Amino acid sequence: MTVDRRIFGRPLRSVAFDVAVSGLVALFAVAGVVAQPGGWNATLVGIGMALALLFRRTHPTAVAAVVGAMALSQVILRWGPLGFDIAVLIALYSVIKYADRLRDGVIAGAVAAVGVVLAALQMRGPGLWWANAIWFGTVTGVVWLMGLNVRTRRLYVLSLEERAATLEREREAEARAAVAEERTRIARELHDVVAHSMAVMIVQADGVRFTMDRDPATAREAAKVVADTGRQALEEMRRLVGVLREPSRPEPVAAPDAVADPDEPAHRRPALVELPALLDRFRAAGLRVGHATKGDPVPLPPGLELTVYRVVQESLTNALKHAGVGASVELSLDWSATTVVVRAVDDGRGRPVVRPAPSGGHGLVGMRERVGVYDGTLTAGPTLAGGWRVEARLPLPSVPDTEQGEAAA
């Protein structure tokens, strides 16, 4: 894990580099104190330039203006070009690279061009002034072009980072919307389950009232159905409230929509007895689906039964969309005394789907939400053979105490 060390709100690395650059300029200023024109006064100007360079990243235009003014003072005092004037090139490079507007870099380049001519005119020694001007101009032009090239690359990288951040925010927003929509759908289906259970309770309760005296055995059986259905409805109501209250946790992986039966009404509740028909629909769509059941299936509460059905539906849809037509899928339902495990493994060797199938959910997001409602776990990921594996493990409800007592009797 990398640690982002910062000082004064800036990366430590950048601060250290700027200090080194400033120290180099100050060293040039101090080293020439004996031989350079101006003596200690020129050295103080060089140290001033060095200190200004410490802020070249955060205030590039101001630094360029300060360094340029100090360089102009050299021209006025006729000191000529000195070693620490490398600060002028550094400030020019910085204003091109870091300034908000390229216009500041263009102005700095024009000022530097005037400075090149003035510096060439003050050069001592043999040689024509224009030859010196060409040399200084070439060096300054190379530095300006280097700054422009680095600025272009820097802005390009920043635009890519901003685009990536925007895409990430959009993906998170889509994931949150998908989770919210799936939670609404789950809540609607659980509401239908609870409403159905309440209707059963009312009918059975009426039956108890009318048969209590004439047929006590039937009345006792009806009362047991009322009690069992009430417990089940209460449990589903608890899960319904949990779905509505729990904050959405969007998945980082955007998943495809699931395939639904186009003829399935919006408010109809599928059951596991319809699983063969569902598998036949996917076989007709082009999947080679193998189905195996291990253990002894047990009756499930309506909401849990719906979850198992939806997990199978979503898993096969993902296989059709990603593995493609002609892919083989091994579907298994493993039943034990405490859990039911739904497992779907495809080989990933199909052909691309020509037409998308009707939407019925939100893939992994929907499965994870549904399995989480019943305190289950979902794992999904690629296999070593190149396919995809989905496994949902759902705990089975415990047997009510009344039924245990009757079984013991």
Q: What percent of the chain has pLDDT over 90?
A: 16
Mean predicted confidence (pLDDT) in 88-95: 91
Task: Assign 246 a pLDDT band (cuts: 50, 70, 90).
Answer: low
The whole-chain average pLDDT of the chain stands at 78
What span, in angstroms and rounded, lies between the C-alpha atoms of 296 and 274?
A: 18
Residue 392 pLDDT level (bands cut at 50, 70, 90): very high
Same domain, 279 and 214: no
Q: What is the mean pLDDT of residues 359-379?
A: 77
- How confident is the model at residue 170, as a pLDDT? 85
How far is 357 from 73, CA to CA, in rounded Å? 76
Average pLDDT over residues 282-287: 86
pLDDT at 250: 41
> For the chain, how are helix, strand and coil distributed in percent, rounded to 5?
65, 10, 25
β partners of residue 346: 329, 388
The answer to whether residue 258 sits within a structural domain is no
Provide the pLDDT for residue 344.
94
Residue range 233-247: mean pLDDT, rounded: 63
Mark whether 226 and 281 lie in a shared domain: no
Tell me whether residue 165 is in a domain: no
Give me the pLDDT at residue 293, please: 92
In a domain, 146, yes or no: no
Task: Write down the pLDDT at residue 208.
Answer: 72
Question: Quick one: 299 and 339 in the same domain?
Answer: yes
Average pLDDT over residues 38-43: 82
Query: pLDDT category, 114, cuts 50, 70, 90?
Result: confident
Domain containing 189 — which CATH number? 1.20.5
Could you tell me if 104 and 64 are in contact, meaning their C-beta atoms sit under 8 angstroms apart?
yes
Is 266 domain-assigned?
Answer: no
Give residue-wise pLDDT tens across range 298-329.
Answer: 888 888 888 898 899 889 888 888 888 888 99
* 323, part of any domain: yes
**Between 252 and 116, whose confidence is greater?**
116
Both tokens of residue 325? 């037509």
Between residues 201 and 22, the one the model is more confident about: 22
Residues with Cβ < 8 Å from 137, sequence gap 6 or more?
A: 113, 116
Q: Are residues 16 and 67 in the same domain?
A: yes
One domain, residues 234 and 327: no
Q: Can you give the pTM of this predicted structure? A: 0.48
CA distances from 90 to 66, 83, 190, 292 (A): 12, 13, 69, 73
CA-CA-CA-CA dihedral for 264, 266, 271, 275, to nearest 10: 30
Span 209-216, average pLDDT: 75
In a shared domain, residues 390 and 355: yes
The pLDDT tens digits of the residues spanning 7-32 come to 766 778 888 888 898 888 888 888 87
What's the total number of domains in the chain?
3
Banded model confidence at residue 175, pLDDT cuts 50, 70, 90: confident
Question: In this structure, are 18 and 111 located in the same domain?
Answer: yes
CATH of the domain at 338: 3.30.565.10
79 or 333, which is more confident:
333
Verify that 187 and 118 share a domain, yes or no.
no
Domain membership flag for residue 395: yes
Q: Say which residue, 403 or 121, is predicted with more confidence.
A: 121
Average pLDDT over residues 129-145: 85
Binned at pLDDT 50, 70 and 90, residue 289 comes out as very high
Residue at a domain's end among 191, 210, 245: 245
- Is 299 part of any domain? yes
**pLDDT value of position 406:** 43
- Whether residue 365 sits in one domain with residue 283: yes
pLDDT value of residue 395:
92
Instruction: Give 112's pLDDT tier (boundaries 50, 70, 90).
Output: confident
Looking at the structure, tell me whether residues 94 and 32 fall in a common domain: yes
* 313 and 234 together in one domain: no
User: Does residue 336 lie in a domain region?
Assistant: yes
Share of the chain above pLDDT 70, in %: 78
Q: Is the pLDDT of residue 109 over 80?
A: yes
pLDDT (average), residues 266-279: 76
pLDDT at 324: 82
Instruction: Examine the domain organization and report whether 283 and 333 are in the same domain.
Output: yes
Q: Which domain holds residue 187?
A: 176-245
Distance separating alpha carbons of residues 302 and 168, to the nearest angstrom: 38
- Mean pLDDT over 265-281 rounds to 75
Q: What is the pLDDT of residue 404?
A: 42
List the structure tokens of 49: 């330039």
Residue 8 falls in which region: left (phi positive, over 0), alpha (psi -120 to 50) or beta:
left
